[in-house]
Structure 1
Amino acid sequence: MEFSLIAKHFTRATPGAVLGVGDDCALLAPTPGMQLAVSSDMLLEGRHFSPQDSPAGIGHKSLAVNLSDLAAMGATPRWATLAIALPEENDAWLTAFARGFFRMADQHGIELIGGDTTRGALTLSITVMGEIPPGQALRRDGAQAGDDIWVSGVLGSAAMALAYRQGRLFMEQIDAAKVLPALYLPTPRVALGIALRGLAHSAIDISDGLLADLGHILERSGKGAQLAFDALPTLPVVQTYLHETVARECVLAGGDDYELCFTAPADRREAILAAAASADVSVSRIGQITAEPGLTVLAADGQPLPYDKTGYDHFAA
């Protein structure tokens, strides 16, 4: 059953690989002179997605969140492996999942070259591989004092959608419909990451929350930061709920945005905007890197805005 399942749902031509699905290992020939960027993510039913979620949407998101890691490094996607545990064989579910997965794969030129299947609680584990010229990777440890801090797209939509679904935030249905796509169908900023090579000093994707993920840059770079809350980009519908504490937490620490947070010198502002335009994505300047450690968020009146939560805890109950 395992091999027929793989053959039916996950075997496709892989012209970019020497050998793809069907043997003990895949065989790859990276482009000469390029470095490999490799990342893995695991998604569990009940923790990262709901049993009621669309399988096509799960397929989309499972690959998108991995591609976001490649985007954060400025890597060009090439290959992926997929390991999937299923409580039982479900042909209709797998057909829809594969449709969403391969739609995302085709958008970014990534080939599925192998993986594994077994029986168990529904779990997805994906490894992605990309390529990048030596010395051009966007890393977390390169932020410098005086750098501008930028983010792509908008923040807080996915977290607000989850809060709405969990009953922690009450929204009008017409408003909820505007944020739900961010939760189910995130967009990895691959083209922007590639365009930022040679421009950004550091970068990370926002998966656990802006404050938590920016905090990783600050820790690795030995720097601090000052952010302006009013500069954080959000959908207009999100702004109408910012009087609620939970909504402000969604913007600052909600996670699941899969936008890029990056730093760059002030004299590269025009080049950053041009890079974003070439990638067809908006970017916003939200603060500055400081030499002194610590992360401060300023309210509109210039006073520090208190916050208790910085991001998602993978080991919280």
Structure 2
Amino acid sequence: MDEAAFIAALRALAPDPAARGLDDDVAVIALGGEHLILTHDMMVEGVHWLPGQDPADVAWKLVATNLSDLAAKGAQPLGVLLGYGLGGGEERFLVGLGEALLAFAVPLLGGDTVRRAGAAAHGLTALGRATCLPVPTRGGARPGDALWVTGMLGDAMLGFEALRDARSDRDTTRFARPVPRLAEGQALAPLVGAMMDVSDGLLLDATRMALASGVTLAIDSAACPVPADLPATRRRDALAWGDDYELLFTLPAGQAPPCPATCIGHAQPAGAAPLLLDGAGPQGRLGYQHQQ
């Protein structure tokens, strides 16, 4: 069973409104006068990080990727719970974990440890509180909205390749130690129609937003912000690679965002394809998906 089929089957087991149909990367629980935001991500050696990569970077990225889901909801982090598989590299992992907790001002609240066999795998649950209501979703884009993205797309891809090839000619930080857009998410949350983070590739995540919103999103590839040294022939690769952890969001036409961002397209009434790239349905790989 591949990832999409498994998640589809899980939806039957998650009817509670807090689960948001398992379509939104987070759960939202009303608690008194507050709304609690919960998310959980796992990382596996050889899938999310390279064998032999510094465990301090693994710990940082585990925290950052979960906080990125909170950022896409405009949430303020409250704490994290760690699930860790013992099996080597613990000293360096603890260094990176401490650095991430300090950098993002988020406390470790608990978790669990096991002795693993085989490839390393770790999980983290992040908890936050909503800073505005309604909490943004993927499903709020409307025809006529402008589509925006923060930051740069493709830096993580180039950083991964340099790290994989043991090259020192490029900064690998954007892959090894991404920074969640927490401040930007909180500033955008009261204004956006739809918002999510770009983790699996711009094209795949934009398709998910379009399907959730019931619109077609039209993207201009030339407008997408990419590194200056990215070869022109690799622009399409950068839009489908992922690990960017930028925020993808919609705003009403003519409204400027309160943080640095680039307008890369617009929403239009739903058509034959949920996503258009330069006027046509994109062919080939859209992003990263876990297969059998």
Normalising to structure 1: TM-score of the pair? 0.76
Q: Distance in 2 between matches of 1:117 and 1:134?
A: 35
Q: Distance in 2 between matches of 1:144 and 1:306?
A: 21
Partner of 1:288: 266
Q: Distance in 1 between matches of 2:85 and 2:236?
A: 33
Aligned sequence identity (%): 32
C-alpha deviation, 1:208, in angstroms: 0.3
Query: Among 185, 202, 205, which residue is 2:194 paired with?
Result: 202
Query: Among 293, 297, 307, which residue is 2:283 paired with?
Result: 307
Q: Distance in 2 between matches of 1:103 and 1:221?
A: 37
Amino acid at match of 2:200: D
The answer to whether residue 104 in structure 2 is matched with residue 128 in structure 1 is no
Q: Distance in 1 between matches of 2:62 and 2:247?
A: 18
Q: Would you identify which runs of 4 or more consecutive aligned residues in structure 1 move more than 4 Å?
A: 163-167, 303-306
- Tell me the number of residue pairs that the alignment of Structure 1 and Structure 2 aligns: 259
Q: CA RMSD in A?
A: 2.2
Check conservation: 1:81, 1:114, Cα contact below 8 A: yes
C-alpha deviation, 1:112, in angstroms: 0.9
CA distance change for structure 1 residues 74 and 283 in 2, over 3 Å: closer, same or farther? Answer: same
Structure of higher CA gyration radius: 1
Query: Among 211, 226, 242, which residue is 1:255 paired with?
Result: 242
Partner of 2:54: 54
Which digits, 9 at most, give the CA deviation of each residue in 1:106-146, with x for residues without a partner?
22221111111111142111000000146231111101111
CA distance change for structure 1 residues 166 and 56 in 2, over 3 Å: closer, same or farther? Answer: closer
For 1:266, what is the secondary structure of its paired residue? coil
Between 1:131-140 and 1:220-229, the stretch displaced more is: 131-140
Q: Which runs of 5+ in 2 are unaligned?
A: 1-29
Amino acid at match of 2:41: D
Query: Among 167, 183, 188, which residue is 1:191 paired with?
Result: 183
Partner of 2:277: 297
Q: Distance in 2 between matches of 1:133 and 1:260?
A: 17
C-alpha deviation, 1:165, in angstroms: 5.1
The answer to whether residue 75 in structure 2 is matched with residue 99 in structure 1 is no
Which digits, 9 at most, give the CA deviation of each residue in 1:183-207, with x for residues without a partner?
1011110110000121111111011
Q: Distance in 1 between matches of 2:68 and 2:182?
A: 7
The answer to whether residue 232 in structure 2 is matched with residue 242 in structure 1 is yes
Check conservation: 2:162, 2:168, Cα contact below 8 A: no
